[in-house]
Amino acid sequence: MATNTSVGLRSERGPILLALMLSTALVALDATIIATASATIARDLGGFEQLPWLFSTYLLAQAVGTPLSGRLADVLGRKRMMLAGVALFFLGSVLCGAAWSMGALIVGRVLQGLGAGAVMPASLTIASDIYTLEERAKTQGYLASVWAISSVVGPTLGGVFSEFVSWRWIFFVNIPLCAFAAWMLVRRYHESPREGAREPIDYLGAALLASGSTLLLLGLLEGGSAWPWDSPASVAIFAGSAGLLTGFVLRVRRARHPIVDLSILRRRVVAVPSAVSLMVGVIVLALSTYIPIYAQGVLGVGPLVAGFTLAAMMVGWPLAATNAGSVYLRIGFRLTAMIGSSLVLTGLALALLLGASTAVVAVAGVCFLVGVGMGLTAVPTLIAAQSSASFSERGAVTGTNMFARSLGSAVGVAVCGAIVNSRTTVGADGVPEGPGLMSAMHVVFILLAVCAAVLVVLATLMPTDRRQARERRAGAAADAAAPTRAA
């Protein structure tokens, strides 16, 4: 696949990767740092009943912005979308830090989420542009390690700021980091001007996709908690989502330059990794949410030890992802994904053996095994999809893959939440409790094991390496015919 390593000298790529990692860190930290400060924020600003929206609005805005930003990165340029995402995150952080009410804080979180939705696909696409196929797994591993570190550091920093300084510094600390990341990108990353007329942007299609996706994710995230699943509100939200998304599909079929070209999903090397990403989203966020609840509510450990069990998964993922390149270059993307998904299935099968007296280290071992499997599944399949795409559609492919993971995360949390809520009560500390918690967790582990089995099947459906090579050559020919965007 043609790679734009001419983005300056090879030595220039290090500072660019550093800027991408820093931008990713901003997104990853703000997904977790607010959790330990939420009670302090509610006491200061009031509106405790609105507290869940601090999390939901961020996830909604990020998920909706991801596929749109991925496509706009192809049309307007990676650098422009990356800087726009950092700028939105900057503005959102300023508003959150200066928030005078819970409503203002929620608006700031929406801006942060939109910024995150632009930063994530743009950063992954830029890394794919400037690094060769042999190097991409290592760079993806570096970006994955940012999430691993943030999952541990984020809650700790949130607690430290809220207890010893002010919860507002959770957001103010982003300001110099945003400025440094933007300065580094402006100084080091340069794109050559696009030749020819710019493709028109399908604003109607973008509006239909954004509104339909927002209603769908809102229904999945808030259903069963903010309103019953069978309530008129829930039915109206899902019906509205179905109508808007149907309109989006019809619009895509008519538009000459659709905001998201669904025809890319006709290629198996793009469709299968997107389905893999959907299952990854279900498994990862469900485990991230309910393993700590299991550790605290069933095993009786404190939050710190419960976090250790989850951190094991976040350590295994980047370790495996960093070394995935040497694996898929030897045995191919398909076999690498099959090995990784089999490890995920093995880990979740072992989770079925977890009980009320299981040692914490055993739980951590299960999570570590799942993390290693994810590193060998999620990263190679994404790289396979990116490698098959031409330069002009790589952002759309990346954005579609990441949107699928966001959708899977919402589905996983919604379904697992319904299972746990139906069998437990919520204690004073906010952690589900009661005699039914262990049985509820067992059902959750069964569901995730089934998802892992689907993941194995999807890995086997990856196209053969020979077919992927043909698609990569076709993409390389398209790149050679198109003007070079990065210089």
pLDDT by residue (tens digit) across 180-217?
989 988 888 877 666 656 677 788 888 888 888 888 88
Q: Is the pLDDT of residue 9 over 80?
A: no
Nearest to 206, CA basis, from 79, 319, 106, 64? 64
The CATH number assigned to the domain holding 357 equals: 1.20.1250.20
Residue 257 is classified by DSSP as S
In terms of average pLDDT, the best of 87-101, 250-264, 277-291, 404-418 is 87-101
d(CA 330, CA 480) in angstroms, rounded, equals 27
**Residues 254 and 271 grouped into a single domain:** no
Strand partners, 433: 425
Q: Is the pLDDT of residue 10 over 60?
A: no
Average pLDDT rounded to a whole number, residues 255-282 = 87
**Residues 96 and 177 grouped into a single domain:** yes
Nearest to 34, CA basis, from 99, 86, 82? 99
Which of 136, 163, 189 lies at the terminal end of a domain, its last residue? 189
More confident residue, 322 or 114: 114
**Residues 248 and 273 grouped into a single domain:** no
Instruction: Give the tokens for residue 80.
Output: 């422009």
Q: Give the pLDDT of residue 127.
A: 85
Average pLDDT rounded to a whole number, residues 113-133 = 86
Alpha carbon separation from 250 to 224, 243, 245 (Å, rounded): 31, 11, 9
Q: Give the pLDDT of residue 356.
A: 86
With respect to residue 196, please indicate whether it lies within any of the assigned structural domains: no
3-state secondary structure of 79: helix
- Mean of all residue pLDDT scores within the chain: 81
**Residues 139 and 80 grouped into a single domain:** yes
Average pLDDT rounded to a whole number, residues 89-94 = 93
With respect to residue 197, please indicate whether it lies within any of the assigned structural domains: no
Residue 425 is classified by DSSP as E
**Residues 330 and 470 grouped into a single domain:** yes
Instruction: Give the tokens for residue 453.
Output: 């089995």
Strands 425-426 and 432-433: antiparallel
More confident residue, 440 or 448: 448
Q: Which contiguous run of DSSP H or E holds residue 118?
A: helix 102-130
**Residues 328 and 387 grouped into a single domain:** yes
**Residues 245 and 324 grouped into a single domain:** no
d(CA 34, CA 55) in angstroms, rounded, equals 9
d(CA 94, CA 104) in angstroms, rounded, equals 11
**Residues 276 and 321 grouped into a single domain:** yes
Residue 434 is classified by DSSP as S
Q: Give the pLDDT of residue 372.
A: 93
The residue with tokens 């690498």 is 336
In terms of average pLDDT, the best of 52-66, 239-253, 384-398 is 239-253
Q: Give the pLDDT of residue 453.
A: 96
Angle between helices 52-76 and 203-222 (to 10 degrees): 150
pLDDT confidence tier of residue 487, bands split at 50, 70 and 90? very low
Q: Is the pLDDT of residue 294 over 90?
A: no
Backbone angles phi, psi at 192, to 5 degrees: -70, 150
Q: Give the pLDDT of residue 298.
A: 84
**Which amino acid is residue 184, in one-letter code?**
M
**Residues 253 and 273 grouped into a single domain:** no
Q: Give the pLDDT of residue 60.
A: 82
**Which amino acid is residue 124, in one-letter code?**
L
Query: Are 258 and 388 contacting, i.e. CB atoms less than 8 angstroms apart?
Result: no
Which of 163, 189, 215 lies at the terminal end of a domain, its last residue? 189
**Residues 417 and 276 grouped into a single domain:** yes
Average pLDDT rounded to a whole number, residues 9-32 = 78
Residue ranges with strand state E in 182-239:
none
Long-range contacts of 245-251 (CB under 8 A, 24+ apart): 245/208, 245/209, 245/212, 245/213, 245/216, 247/208, 247/212, 248/205, 248/208, 248/209, 248/212, 251/202, 251/204, 251/205, 251/208
**Residues 421 and 301 grouped into a single domain:** yes
More confident residue, 275 or 190: 275
With respect to residue 198, please indicate whether it lies within any of the assigned structural domains: no
pLDDT confidence tier of residue 95, bands split at 50, 70 and 90? very high
pTM score, whole prediction: 0.80
Number of domains in the chain: 3
With respect to residue 194, please indicate whether it lies within any of the assigned structural domains: no
Tens digits of residue pLDDT in 446-466: 999 999 999 999 999 998 765
Domain holding 92, by residue range, is 1-189
Which of 155, 189, 223 lies at the terminal end of a domain, its last residue? 189
**Residues 240 and 171 grouped into a single domain:** no
Q: Give the pLDDT of residue 482.
A: 45
In terms of average pLDDT, the best of 28-42, 93-107, 211-225 is 93-107
More confident residue, 144 or 335: 335
Q: Give the pLDDT of residue 146.
A: 80
